[in-house]
Every structure is written in C-alpha cells, then in structure tokens.
Amino acid sequence: MSQVKIGILGGSGLYKMEALKDIEEIQIETPFGSPSDALIVGTLEGTRVAFLARHGRNHHLLPSELPFRANIYAMKSLGVEYLISASAVGSLQAEMKPLDMVIPDQFIDRTFGRMGTFFGDGIVAHVAFGDPVCLQLAKVLGDAVESLQLEGVTLHRGGTYVCMEGPAFSTKAESNLHRSWDASVIGMTNLPEAKLAREAEIAYATLALVTDYDCWHPDHDSVTVEMVIGNLQRNAVNAQKVILETVRRLSKNPPVSDAHSALKYAILTPKDQVSAAAKTRLEFLLQKYFTEE
C-alpha cells in the first residue's frame, strides 16, 4: 500500500469520518498488540488518510485501557507523519464555552500507570517534550478553524490540557486545583498519545472540542456522559469540516516539524549494543537511524 502521511484519531462521539471515500479497513498487528480497532484508510479530496476511533467504533475501551502504543505504532507503520487528535474536553475557564474549539499547546500529566514510551528492554531514549504538541501542525489546525468562520464557535489557540486518569470525572476540589494551575481544559487521553507520537517522530496536535464546564462552574451542571456526547454530536459536523480543511492545507503545504527528527539526539544506547529483538520491535521508529551501511 502507498504511504499514508496523515492520521486522525477520533475520540468520544467521533467514531468515523463521514467524508472518507474508497475505504479500506486494515487490521494491523504491532509488536505492542492490536490497536483499538481496524484503521480506516480512505481518501479525503484526493489525499489518503488513516482514521482510528481511539475507544473503538463501539466505544468499548476506557481511557486507561487504550492500547496507546499499538495505536501510534500502527499509524507509524502506515507512514503517518502528521497526526490530528479530535477530542472531547471539559473547560476549566469561563471564556472557553461548550462548542468552542481549543488547540492546546501544553499538557499536565495527572495519569498513572500508562505506558508512555516505546523504549526500554535494552534500548534507552529520552525525547524532548518541552513543547509537547507540534506547533507547526497546531498552526495549520488553527488556521483551518479560523478560515471556516464557524457560527457560534470561538477558537482558542494555545492552552493547557490536563490529562487525568478517570474514568470517573473530577471532584470539585480537583477541578478547582486544576483551575488554580491556570489549566484550560481537561480530558483523559491525549498526553500518552502526544509522548508516543513524539518518540515515533510524528507531528501531533489536538483539536479539543469543549463539551462541558467540568464541575467547577457555579452556573452550570456538573459534567455527565450525556452532556459530553450531546455537545460533541452538536459539533461533530464542524469538527469534520475542520479536519477536512486541515487535510487540504497539509497536503498542499506540509509544514517542517521538529517532531520529524525527535530521535536524532535522543537515543543513548550505542547502535551496536541494541539487541536484534529491540531493533525488530522498533523497526518503524529506528529504520531511519539504524539501517546498516
């Protein structure tokens, strides 16, 4: 199959891309297990893209159960270089209203026990993560939203996404703690993806769709699943328009991204000391650096 350079991870309420044509469902097995579902490869206005519903198309996986490594590795194995995450988030700031769109540029990790690296087992690497999203891809995403002038949707460029473990939503004390950190939005999925995408040298950015005010706002009900899915569905058409416009822009003008060389100085273990097993396991990550002369 020809390389697919653009990937899309659909979150809660976004289980398929309506506009995809010439679809192929691909079951991919990775050294890190099976992805959340088959990857759907199809064409958006002439550009091949890969779509994956991160909780599965029937939403059967909890955030803590997501096979993050298999999902990112499967995208990498198809040749993905740009990965757009579409995610439902709660707002921690009054001005970020339900149905608004936020393009976060920072994360705070409040998860535990998630597997956030492909490395280990005989090969060590430490990637830079000061800027956890690809700022060039985030700009393309923001420009796409702006160009569409979506009614009733305010775009917020930048902001901090708190990634919590879940599955229960936050307590009011936690929500206020996150607000005291000046965080913008909260969700349960994006941080491990961003870390693994960085290790896989894939540019990653998030289109965060605000669905609720979590539980801190005195004038709004506390978040429920019904609220999240209801508001996400009200905004799903807009989200798909944004993704389509972003794909158009990326295929015309793919930005240079620092993420694409994230491993250049990150691997500490000398090449001749890395076991054959590790080289095979990480084939798609290392081939650029470890091809034999």
To ligand LNRAV4D5, the closest distance from the beta carbon of 172 in angstroms equals: 17
Q: Does 68 bind ligand ADE (CB under 6 A)?
A: no
**Per the structure block, which two tokens stand in for 222?**
């506390």
Q: Does 187 bind ligand LNRAV4D5 (CB under 6 A)?
A: yes
Among ligand ADE, ligand LNRAV4D5, none, what binds residue 225 when CB lies within 5 to 8 Å by partner kind? ligand LNRAV4D5
Positions in 187-216 near ligand ADE (CB under 6 A): 187-188, 211-212, 214
To ligand ADE, the closest distance from the beta carbon of 90 in angstroms equals: 2
Q: Does 99 bind ligand LNRAV4D5 (CB under 6 A)?
A: no
Q: Measuring CA to CA, how many Å separate 267 from each of 68, 132, 222, 290?
A: 21, 18, 45, 11
**177: alpha, beta or left, given left = phi > 0 and alpha = psi -120 to 50?**
alpha
Cα–Cα dist 261/256, whole Å? 10
- Count residues binding ligand LNRAV4D5 (CB under 6 A): 13
Concerning whether 212 is annotated as a catalytic residue, the answer is: yes
Region from 14-22, 25-33, 183-191, 248-256 binding ligand ADE, contact rule CB under 6 A? 183-191
Concerning whether 214 is annotated as a catalytic residue, the answer is: yes
Cα–Cα dist 153/91, whole Å? 14
Nearer to ligand ADE, 89 or 144 (CB): 89
Among ligand LNRAV4D5, ligand ADE, none, what binds residue 214 when CB lies within 5 to 8 Å by partner kind? ligand ADE
Which run of H or E residues covers position 24? Answer: strand 21-26
CB distance 23 to 41 below 8 Å: yes
Cα–Cα dist 156/136, whole Å? 16
**For residue 232, how many other CB atoms are within 10 A of its CB?**
24
Radius of gyration of the chain, Cα coordinates, nearest whole angstrom: 18
Give the chain's largest Cα–Cα span: 65
- The pattern of x and - marking residues 215 through 254 that bind ligand LNRAV4D5 according to CB under 6 A reads ----------x--x--------------------------
Residues comprising the binding site for substrate? 188, 212-214
Residues identified as active-site:
212, 214
Residues comprising the binding site for phosphate? 12, 54-55, 87-88, 189
